[in-house]
Amino acid sequence: MERDRAEGGDARRGGQKPFPPEAQQRDPPAAESAFSPDPPSSLSGDARVVTLDQAVFTSVQAARGAGYQVAGRSAGVTADECRELSRWGPSHDSLVDPAVPSVNFHRLDSGRLCASRSAAVGGEYSGRGAQVYTQMVLLSAEQLAEFSGHPFYVLQAAVSAGELPVHEEVPSQLPPLSVGAAAPTSDADLLREVGTELPAGAMAELLDAVLSGQGVGVVAPGGMGRAVAVMLACLPAPCRAEVSFCTGLKPSPRRPFRVVPVPDDPMLRRRAERQYNLRIVDLGAPVPRPSRGAFTWPDLVSEVAAAGHWEEFAAWLHETREAFRRAPPTLATLDHLAPRARDALAAGATGATGVSPVRWAVGR
C-alpha cells in the first residue's frame, strides 16, 4: 500500500475489477513482438529442463494492503528478494505505450538475476486505467548460461511452455517454473538485422555507450525490443548478464536500468538526458565511427556490419561459448578481446571463402 501511494497510487478498498475474458489465463499478449528474437521453432530441441523461481508484481487487494505489490511468488523467492522486487516493480502509468509490453532484466542483491515482462492487462480496481502486470523469472547466472546468457530466450522458453499465464486472481503461492533451457544454435539471422535495418554505425554506437558504464537512453524507431535483443546478441554470452535493461518502461530512479527507451521527441529526450544523466543513442541516425587509436569491441561490430559477415561473427560467438565459460570475459575486458576476435574471424573468413584477412577486416 505504501508503494502504491508513493507512486501516485490509490489504496482504496473495494471489489477488484476483473480482467477482461481474453486476458484471463492466457499467454502474455504480443509475446511474439515483445520478446521473440527468433520464433520458438528455431530454438534447440533437446533442451535440458531447468527449475526457475517466479513472482508476479501487480495491483491487488490483499490482507496486507491494497495496491501494487508482489502478489504471488514461488517458495524459493526469499523475503529479501521479495522486497527488492517490489522496488523494481513498475506500477500505474509506468509503460511507455500500454499497447506494447516491456521486457526487463536486472541483477538482485542476492546475486540472482530477474528477467521480467510488464504488460497492461485489464483495468485497475481503482478505476485509474490499465493495470500493469509484471511476471518475474528468477534464475542464477549458471541457469542463464543455459539460455546463451540471453534473457529474451528465458522468457520465450517460459511462454512457449505455457508457464507464464496471466492470473485473474494471483495465488499468493506460485509453483516454480519448469522450462526447457533452449537457445538458437546461431544468432546470425538476428544479427543480420544490424546490417539490414539499422543505419551505419548505429549498433556500434549503442555498444560503445553500454561499455562506457553510463546510463543509456535509446531512441529505437524500429522497436526497442528488437534493438536490445540484437545488442545483446553482439556480446559474448557471459557479458550479457551485466547489461540491465527495459524495453518499454519509463525511466525511474526506482529502476536504475543501464539501458532504457526514450521518446523520439527532442524536448523529452533532453529532459530524460538531464534528469537521469543518460547518454542518448538514436538508432535511426547514421553514426560515423571516429578513429580512436585502440581497436575496440564496437569497432569490431562496425567492421562486421560493413563486411556483412554476420554468419562468421555468430559462428565465432557460438564456437567460443565453452571456452568463455571457463574464462568468461566481462564488459570491462571486452575491448581487449576485440583485436584477437578480429584476427580469429579474419582467419576463419580466409579459410572459408578465400578472402584475405586484411580485406575481410576492413569490409572491402
The three cell numbers locating residue 242: 551485466
109 domain-assigned: yes
42 domain-assigned: no
Residue ending a domain, choose from 181, 203, 226: 181
Q: Give the structural domain span for 279.
A: 188-362
- Note the pTM of the prediction, 2 decimals: 0.83
324 domain-assigned: yes
At 147 the three-state DSSP class reads coil
**In a shared domain, residues 204 and 151:** no
Backbone angles phi, psi at 304, to 5 degrees: -60, -45
Residue ending a domain, choose from 147, 181, 215: 181
**In a shared domain, residues 321 and 175:** no
Position 195 scores a pLDDT of: 73
**In a shared domain, residues 240 and 325:** yes
> Using one digit for the tens of pLDDT, what is the confidence trace for 80-122?
999 999 999 999 889 999 999 999 999 999 999 999 999 999 7
**In a shared domain, residues 222 and 281:** yes
**In a shared domain, residues 203 and 348:** yes
> Using one digit for the tens of pLDDT, what is the confidence trace for 302-339?
999 888 889 899 999 988 888 888 889 999 999 999 99
328 domain-assigned: yes
> Using one digit for the tens of pLDDT, what is the confidence trace for 43-80?
444 568 999 999 999 988 776 777 899 999 999 999 99
**In a shared domain, residues 20 and 70:** yes
The three cell numbers locating residue 311: 554468419
One DSSP character per residue, 27-67 reads: PPTTHHHHS-SS-GGGB-SSPEEEEEEEEEEEEEEETTEEE
**In a shared domain, residues 296 and 197:** yes
- Where do the DSSP E strands lie in the chain? 48-62, 65-73, 102-107, 113-123, 130-139, 177-181, 215-219, 245-246, 259-261, 278-282
**In a shared domain, residues 70 and 126:** yes
User: What's the total number of domains in the chain?
Assistant: 2
Mean pLDDT of 244-264: 95
**In a shared domain, residues 202 and 145:** no
Name, in order, each residue with C-beta under 8 angstroms of 314's C-beta and a sequence gap of 6 or more.
186, 187, 188, 191, 233
**In a shared domain, residues 118 and 176:** yes
**In a shared domain, residues 167 and 285:** no
Residue ending a domain, choose from 140, 166, 181: 181
219 domain-assigned: yes
**In a shared domain, residues 204 and 299:** yes
22 domain-assigned: yes
Range with lowest mean pLDDT among 76-80, 87-91, 167-171, 244-248: 167-171
